[in-house]
Structure 1
Amino acid sequence: MPLLVGVLVFNFIPFVLNLFYSLTDLGSFGRWNFIGVENFTKLFSDPLFYKAVGNTFFYVIITVPITVTVSVCIANLLNKKIKGKTLYRTIYFLPVVTMASASTLVFKWMFNSSYGLVNQLLELVGVEGQLWFTDPQLAKIVIVVFIIWSGLGYKIMILLGGLQSIPETYYEAASIDGATSFKQFTHITIPLLTPSIFFVVIWSLIGSFQLFDVVFMLIKQESPAYSATITMTRYFYDLGFTLGDKGYASAVAVILFLIIMTITLIQFKLQKRWVHYSDE
C-alpha cells in the first residue's frame, strides 16, 4: 500500500497533470486556457525542438554502446585475481558516490579555456588550447566524455554482481575441454551475463535520454554551442523555467516520455532473442 501511494503521488499524478498542462497555454503566473493540441502542432514546426531531439539521440547512440562495452570489459578484468582490485573498484565507483554537480564542476575546471588543466597539458606539447565550451563540436566531445566517465562506476558494480553469480564450475569444465580464455568469455561469460547487461542497457538508455545536469552546467544559453548541445530535458527546462512557457514545455516532456517508453518497450520485446536467464 505505501508503495502504491508513492507511485500514485510521485509518478501517476504528475504525469497526468503534465499531460493536461501540455494541452494548455499555462504560463508563469498559473493562468491558463485550454488550447488542445496547439502546443504539439507548434512543437513539430520548431527547429530548435528537432535540434534537441537530434542531439539527445546523438548522445544516446554514442554513449550507451561505448559505456556498456567498456563496463563489461572492466568488470570482467576486476572479477579476475589482480593486485589492487579493491583500489580499482573504489576508483571506478567514485563518480557514483560523488554528486553530479560536483563532478561536472571538476570537468568545467579541467576544460576551462583560460586556466584548465587540459589546455595546459596541450600547451606543454605545443598544441594550442581549445575553446571547449564555445566550439559546438568540442563541447559535444566534452559532454560525451563526461557521460561515459560518470556512468561507468554504477554499471561496473552491477555487472560485477552478475559475473560473481556465474558458477566457477562452468569455467573449470571449459578449461578441461580446452576452451581458451576468449572462448570462455564469449560462450560462458557473455551469455550468462546478459540479464545484467540488459538491465545496464535499459538504465543507460533512460539516463541518456534524460541528460540534463552536465549540459546545463557546462553550456550557457548564450554560448555558440548551445543549439549544438541542447537536449530535450534542457529545452524543457529553458521553456518552462527560463521563458515561463510551461504549457509548451509540458508538450516537450510528453514527447520525451513517449520516446523513452517506446524504446524501453521495444527493448523488453527484443530481450527474448538475446537475454538468457538461468531458469530458462
Structure 2
Amino acid sequence: MEKLVVIGLGLIGGSLALDLKKRGNYKVFGIDQNAEHIKKALALGVIDAEIDFNEITDASVVIIAVPVNIVPKLAKEILDCVSEDTLVFDVGSVKNEICKEIVNHPKRKNFVAAHPLAGTEFSGPEAAILNLFDDKVNIICEADKTDWKILDKAISLFKKLNMRIKMMHPEEHDRHIAYVSHLSHVSSFMLGKTVLEIEKNEQAIFDMASTGFASTVRLAKSSANTWTPIFLENKENIIKSLNEYIKNLNEFKEMIEQNDANGLNETMHGTNYIKNILNGIKQSN
C-alpha cells in the first residue's frame, strides 16, 4: 500500500483523498493547520490518519491543496525533504508563480504543476465528495520539466480519477483561467453584493430569487479565504478581464439608456453563440 499525503483538507484536497482511497492502493494521511479540519476529516473518513510534516519523507505521493499564495514556499519545503521517487503536485488555479518559484530547485523533476478543473461552491472537509473529478479536465503545466517516470506516475493517478489531461504553458493557463473561471467568481460575488446592498429585505430576496439568479450567484457562496489569494496571485490577468467586462457592462447600460433595442438584440443574439461552444464541450465529454 502506497503512502499518500494530502496537505490541505478542503474541498479539493478532501475529495482527492476520498476518491484515491476508493480507487487506488493508498493509505491516506492528512496535514492541515486547522485542527478542526483534521478532526472532521478523520470523523468523515476522508483520511486514514493525521501526520506531521517531518513524516512525509517516505511518501509515494504528496498533494498540495492549500491557498495559492502559500503553494510556492510550501512546494520548495516539501521538495527539500521528499525522496527521489516521490510525486509532488499542487492543485492551484494559478500556475505561473509556482512554476517560476521552483524552476531551479534540485528536485524540480519530482513536481507536477496541475490544475483539476473541478469544484463546488462549498469548502472544508465536509464538502469533500466522491466522483468530483470524473470526466473533468486536468491541466498540467511545464510537463517537460518533470521526470518522465514521475510524470507517468501522476498521469496514472489522474486516470484513476477519470480525468482528461491537457498540457499548457503556465502563462497561457493563467491568462485563460482568468476569463473562464476567475472572472465568473468576481461577477458572482459582485452580483450578490449588489443585490444585498439594494434589496435590504431578505425575505424578498428569498421569495423572488429565480433559478437564474440562484445559478448566477451560486459562486458567491465560495470561500473568501480561498479566492482572495487567487485574485491577488493572478491580478494582472484578472484586471485585464475585468476591464473588458466593465467596458461591456457600460456599453450595455448605454444601450438601455438610449432605448437601443437593435443594439441590445444584436449584442445578446451574438452572445448566444456561447451555447455552441458549451454544447461542443458537453458532446466531447
Q: Looking at both structures, which has the greater relative contact order when contacts are Cα pairs under 8 Å and sequence separation is at least 6?
A: 1
Pairwise TM-score range, normalised by the shorter structure: under 0.3
TM-score (norm 1): 0.26
TM-score (norm 2): 0.25
In our comparison, the structure showing a higher alpha carbon Rg is 1
